[in-house]
Amino acid sequence: MNNNHFSRYAPKSSIDIGVFLCRCGGNISDTVDIERLKSSIDAKVVKDFENLCSLKCQKNIRDIILEEDLDRAVIAACSPITHEKTFRNHVAPLNPYLLEMANLREQCSWVHSDSDKATDKAISLTNAAVERVKYARPLDTIVRKTKKSAAVIGGGISGITAALSLAKQGVKVDLIEKKPSVGGNMIKIGKVFSPEKLAEECALCLFNPLINEAVQHDNINIITNAEVKSSERKAGNFNLLVEKKPRQVWVDRCTACGNCAEVCPIDVPNEWNENLMMRKAIYKPFPQSVPDTYTIDEEHCIKCGNCEKVCNMNAINFSMKTEVIPLNVGSVVIATGHKGFDLKKRPEYGYTRYDDVISQMELARIMGVNGPTNGKLQRPSNGEIPRRLVMIQCAGSRDEKPEGKRYCSKVCCMVALKHANFIKHYYPETEIIICYTDMRTPGMYENYFRYGQSNKIKLIRGRPGDVTRKNGNLIVRVEDTLRGEQLEIETDMIILSEAMEASDGTLEVAKLLNVGLTEDLFVKEKHSKIKPVNTDIEGIFVCGTAQGPKDITDSVSQANAAASKVSELMNGGLEIEPLIAEIDHSECKLCGACIDSCKYKAVYMYDERISVDPIACNGCGICVAKCKNNAIEIMGQTDSQIYAMISGMLKDKKDGERRILVFLDYIGYVAADNIGVNRIPYPESVRIIRITSINRLMPKHIIHAFENGADGIFLGEYPDNVVYSNIQEKVHEFKTQLIKNGIDPDRLMYYKVYAPYFRGLAKKFYEFDKQVSKSLDKLEAVLYKASSKDI
């Protein structure tokens, strides 16, 4: 073995280690020969106990550590996932990071029935822990207080709700909205309904009081016409640069009289009314916009000066410049909302080809009292009330075609029913037909669905194939899958229920803040069940439709949850395990490769030194692999510890015995534990090593393992984390190095690991064991053939 592997954090010449073995009430000792295990461990103290996790044993371990003056401790018992914190308290006289655990229950006695082989494996697992703990260093938990301020990006219902909740808890909030007014999509939809009310209510009437409350709250600073342009994290806080575009109108002077718009010669499609009418180049987004002032559309303004001449308040100023606002905040909430699916991508439905084919959002604006028709239902082509109206569901959702969205957009069925019921109330003579794939109205929404049926809304189960025009009317061709009939429905008007998709702002902010995205391009939660508003980056949270399709109720609930997590972070502070990157400044050449490679933006340059933000650092190890000067280590997972663990796993390997080293990240390790909990067997050759990420490994570790007797290397990583993108490249690099060293690349396997699919992981262990066996047999045959020629 090359001794320089262990040079940086070499232990002192004599380390006294205590090894404490647990029988676990027979869970371990019924399979593992404890006496043989004890006699095989080289340590100052080796003791066994019936139940190490008991309070009595805690006292015994402490007494032994003090009496024997031990420097390190090894607990050979159950999984560190469930009991590491408990046993760190047990070794209290020692620094908690001078403890190492060997998993003899979930990954040995519960998965193997052959006592001799299980005991051999238990010996190697314990030896590995002993070797590794020699290179452990005392570490201190990192505690940080975060600044009591937050940036909420997005001024829709979820952003406003999160900002208000935080403000009421004493947190200073900067609410950043890209458009000239806050409000988001909710202000455009006209009507809302709740599941317990069989009626529709004014959306703006519900939302306006919240907006006004946010405007008047001393702890909320609303910045409109603005975008976040850069983000840097230091010491747990975020430094943001916000670019605020000029309105060319003084907000504190403008009285919103509208004289300027009357003399403006430029007409522009009104995006707030879904381009169904025109507005001027100087305009107020909508009557109740906040701030309640006009703004100039610089893209279309011709600088004629007419507006400036008629403004009695001298509120117009064409010399305004873009303003850059620096913000330093403790947390960030992403509430950037969604956008509608581009229906031009489904030309079979005739959108834009036929005037009377519109989207649900366009229908919402038509039905809105402040919309293009003042709330009157009219056909866009001729202004008449439609006699029949067909709604086509899943326009872009649940769609396997190119550029379609495979997911259900969750709210479309309810939106269609809302508009259908509303139209039936005011236009009872208009016939409404909904062509659906499946009507999805969960929970109490089923009552509203039945209410719609009682209003004589017709339902046809089937996705229309196309829309054509015949004799001046629109024709919807659809198969009624319940009756097995092909139908041609003649109609005056068609409403397409468009899919929800991630907004451009969501994609931009996610890239800027370096948070992960789902395969559908929404902001990814850290864990959908137990951390539903957390992102991959500590201190950044998500809510509303930026996280995925959802209705207003769920958006508000999630916004309050995000605010709660921010408050929890600020009031309780952060307590982080010190298993993070550490820079050796004497070796660092300031090349910046670690800064460029860090997915969490935890590494940064400050005062001509490379520094690591301990709050942001995840200990993944990508920076270590990228550093050509060997100037970075991951505390608790140094090169020395990895080499020692590998060597310990392969120590005292018998002739003819096969040993496979399995490196698993946290999720993979949990999956391996689940195999044991469910008593699913796998080959005794498997030896599992827990690691922060496969990115932490380098070719030198893999080669070291094979040189010291490993027969195969199995790598397992959860594919939905932010560092996964590097893995395929990493595995290719490993295999290339194996080939260069004359090692069959089939002796290395990579597998995507998911905690619930532990049975698949056990199956893969069997498959890889056989694959390695074949490779070794092939190698043996080659060697035999070569030796025969020599003879």
pLDDT band at 204 (very low <50, low <70, confident <90, very high): confident
Q: Which amino acid is at 430?
A: T
Q: How many CB atoms lie within 10 A of CB 595?
A: 17
Q: What is the mean pLDDT of the chain?
A: 91
Rounded average pLDDT over 427-451: 91
Q: Which percentage of the chain shows pLDDT scores above 90?
A: 73
Structure tokens at 657: 């015995």
* CB 570 within 8 Å of CB 171: yes
CA dist., res. 218 & res. 173, Å (int): 9
pLDDT band at 380 (very low <50, low <70, confident <90, very high): very high
CA dist., res. 553 & res. 197, Å (int): 14
Q: Which of 139-148, 157-166, 236-245, 781-790 has the highest mean pLDDT?
A: 157-166
pLDDT band at 6 (very low <50, low <70, confident <90, very high): very low
Please confirm whether the linkage preceding 428 is cis (ω < 30° from 0): no
CA dist., res. 141 & res. 576, Å (int): 6
CA distances from 550 to 39, 127, 502, 546 (A): 61, 52, 12, 9
Angle between helices 360-367 and 412-426 (to 10 degrees): 30
Question: Of 498, 477, 481, 528, nearest to 398 (Cα)?
Answer: 498
Please report where in the chains the tokens 């620094």 appear, as a residue: 95
Q: Which amino acid is at 658?
A: R
* CB 247 within 8 Å of CB 320: yes
pTM exceeds 0.85 for this model: no
CA dist., res. 546 & res. 500, Å (int): 10
Question: Of 545, 644, 621, nearest to 132 (Cα)?
Answer: 644
Using the predicted structure, report yes or no on whether residue 334 has a pLDDT greater than 80.
yes
Rounded average pLDDT over 123-150: 92
* CB 75 within 8 Å of CB 22: yes
Angle between helices 157-168 and 552-572 (to 10 degrees): 30
Residue-range domains of the chain with CATH: 1-139 (3.40.50), 145-197+204-245+322-334+503-573 (3.50.50.60), 246-321 (3.30.70.20), 339-498 (3.50.50.60), 575-634 (3.30.70.20)
* Tens-digit pLDDT profile for residues 269-326: 999 999 999 999 999 998 889 999 999 999 999 999 999 999 999 999 999 999 999 9
Q: What are phi and psi of 500, to 5 degrees?
A: -90, 135
Triad 456, 458, 460: Cα angle to 5°: 160
Least confident interval from 671-675, 687-691, 774-778: 774-778
* Tens-digit pLDDT profile for residues 75-121: 999 999 989 988 998 898 999 999 999 999 999 999 999 999 999 99
What is the per-residue pLDDT for 728?
83
* Tens-digit pLDDT profile for residues 137-181: 999 988 878 889 999 999 999 999 999 999 999 999 999 999 999
What is the per-residue pLDDT for 506?
95
* CB 189 within 8 Å of CB 369: no
pLDDT band at 385 (very low <50, low <70, confident <90, very high): very high
* CB 363 within 8 Å of CB 575: no
What is the per-residue pLDDT for 199?
76
Structure tokens at 786: 């070569």
pLDDT band at 7 (very low <50, low <70, confident <90, very high): very low
pLDDT band at 2 (very low <50, low <70, confident <90, very high): very low
What is the per-residue pLDDT for 783?
62
DSSP 620-664: --HHHHH-TT--EEETTS-HHHHHHHHHHHHTTPPTT---EEEEE
What is the per-residue pLDDT for 786?
63
Partners of residue 282 on adjacent β-strands: 296
Triad 436, 442, 444: Cα angle to 5°: 125
* Tens-digit pLDDT profile for residues 612-663: 988 888 899 999 989 999 999 999 999 999 999 999 999 989 888 999 999 9
What is the per-residue pLDDT for 4?
44
Task: Please report which helix (H) or strand (E) contains residue 189, including its range.
Answer: none
* CB 7 within 8 Å of CB 135: no
